Amino acid sequence: MKFCASIPVKITLLGEHAVVYGEPAIASTIPRTIEMCIDVLEDKRIEVVSKGVYVELNRASFDRTSSRVSYSLNTDMLRKIFSYIVSGIELCEEFLSISKRGYSITIDSDLPVGVGLGTSAAISVGIVALCLTVNGYSPDEQGFLENVARLAWSTEKKVQGAASPMDTFTITFGGLRYIEPRAPLAHEIVSPTELPVLIGYTPKRMTTAELVARVRELISRYSDVGEFVIKGIGQLVQIARRCIEKGDLECLGVCMNANHSLLSLLNIVAPETDIIISTLRHAGALGAKMSGAGGGGAFIALARSFDELQNLARLVKNLGGEVVATRLGSEGIRIFRIA
Ligand code: MEV
């Protein structure tokens, strides 16, 4: 029996980095997805085929009896994707208390990997949900999504060493979420108006793990300043939640701008991101900030209305950035059975 899943990626509106230290964050899925499918194999191999515009057609295979791995192309990208797949399957089998099996997995994505849109988290959520489903845990059963979110978070921690639950919980449940990382919980935020946002990115020069380590080093060296920044971001997130719930876009924009300034103090904002952000603000965006780990990568701008987004998108393209979405998403992971 074959199962497939459509898994959205996400954007952080406020709170990245501080969420690693226990502060709340606000994130949302966006209407762009990664498609994944799973089938059980007769032998104990894990075979992954990934294709897409940014991820070339690649094949990787792991023999679970001999522990031999082979790659059609030994790229960093494929090795990285493969480590999330193998770890997710191991955690799923451990959770279900079942013995090792073989699986064939396909991944289809036209999204850039590693720019702050949560592609690694999406792959972790996807593999855990599909592995649970193909082994008999129905997505309709109570607690299914909670278990997917927790196991996908554990997958990210196992591969990366450290990760907050923000990306995996947002992607699992979908929509606009207030993340309490210590619980961990992802509360839905209900806004009276749809938020006119533009989400884009430029190439990223450092990995999330390197940027998280850079912030940790800075905070341990200057602990008073570090605490000021981290706690300040946490407070802005709480204010921003109230602004969203009241439909006060101006107030949300001010919080986003202030959050960007605090992130700048952590020395993780790339100059090209700063140029795009200040241009968007001068062009009328109510708020604009880097999003994700920094070092280039994703950014988000809030416009006064959906009509103004076209102009902002044109400016982003003129400055060499790519636009990935002009609204937030409402859905989390969706799983369906094929034949
Ligand atoms: C990465 O998308 C966001 C960070 O806060 C890391 C994390 O939450 O694990 C930088």
Q: What is the CATH number of domain 2-188+332-338?
A: 3.30.230.10
Look at residue 126 in the predicted model and tell me its pLDDT.
98
Number of the ligand 1 atom closest to the C-alpha atom of 18: 5
pLDDT at 54: 55
Residue 308 CA to ligand 1 center (angstroms) comes to 29
- In sequence order, the 6+-apart residues with CB closer than 8 A to the CB of 66 are none
182 Cα: distance to centroid of ligand 1 (angstroms): 14
| Chain-centroid distance, C-alpha 214 | 20
pLDDT of amino acid 60: 85
Q: What is the pLDDT of residue 176?
A: 98
Q: For residues 80 and 200, what is the distance between their CA atoms, to the nearest angstrom? A: 23
Cα of 39 to ligand 1 centre, how many Å? Answer: 31
Quote the pLDDT of residue 112. 82
Q: Give the Å distance between the CA of 96 and the centre of ligand 1.
A: 28
Q: Which residue out of 9, 10, 12, 230 has the highest number of ligand 1 atoms within 8 Å of its CB and is therefore the one to mutate?
A: 12
Most ligand 1 atoms within 8 A of CB, residue of 23, 164, 180, 237 to mutate = 164
User: What is the whole-number distance in angstroms between the Cα of residue 324 and the centre of ligand 1?
Assistant: 19
Candidates 112, 110, 128, 124; CA nearest to 167 is 124
Q: Which atom belonging to ligand 1 lies closest to the Cα atom of 16? A: 5
Pocket of ligand 1, candidates 120, 166, 170, 263: which has the most ligand atoms within 8 Å of its Cβ, to mutate? 166
Work out whether the CA dihedral 84, 89, 90, 95 comes out positive or negative.
positive
Give the C-alpha separation, 50 to 225, whole Å.
Answer: 43
Residue intervals in the chain for CATH 3.30.70.890: 197-325
CATH 3.30.230.10 region(s) of the chain?
2-188+332-338
CA distance 248 to 83: 42
**Over the chain, what HEC string results?**
CEEEEEEEEEEEEECCCHHHHCCCEEEEEEEEEEEEEEEEECCCEEEEEEECCCCCCEEEEEECCCCEEEECCCCHHHHHHHHHHHHHHHHHHHHHCCCCCEEEEEEECCCCCCCCCCHHHHHHHHHHHHHHHHCCCCCCCCCHHHHHHHHHHHHHHHHHCCCCCHHHHHHHHCCEEEEECCCCEEEECCCCCCCCEEEEEEEECCCHHHHHHHHHHHHHHCHHHHHHHHHHHHHHHHHHHHHHHHCCHHHHHHHHHHHHHHHHHCCCCCHHHHHHHHHHHHCCCCEEEECCCCCEEEEEEECCCHHHHHHHHHHHHHCCCEEEECCCCCCCCEEEEEC
Match 């999406």 to its residue by tokens: 122
Question: What does the angle CA 271 – CA 275 – CA 277 come to, to the nearest 5 degrees?
Answer: 115
Contact assessment for residue 197 and residue 303, using Cβ atoms and an 8 Å cutoff: yes
CB 65 within 8 A of CB 44: yes
Which residues does the chain have with pLDDT short of 50? none
Q: What angle do CA 164, 231, 155 make, to 5 degrees?
A: 5
Atom of ligand 1 nearest to the CA of 166: 8
CATH class for the region spanning 197-325: alpha beta
Q: How far apart are CA 236 and CA 165, in angstroms?
A: 19
Beta bridge partners of 202: 297
Pocket of ligand 1 (CB under 6 A): 16-17, 19-20, 116, 163-164, 166-167, 208, 212, 292-293
Question: How confident is the model over 159-175, as pLDDT tens digits?
Answer: 988 899 999 999 999 99
- Cis bond leading into 24, ω under 30°? no
Distance CA 79, CA 142 (A): 34
Q: In the block, which residue shows the tokens 């029996």?
A: 1
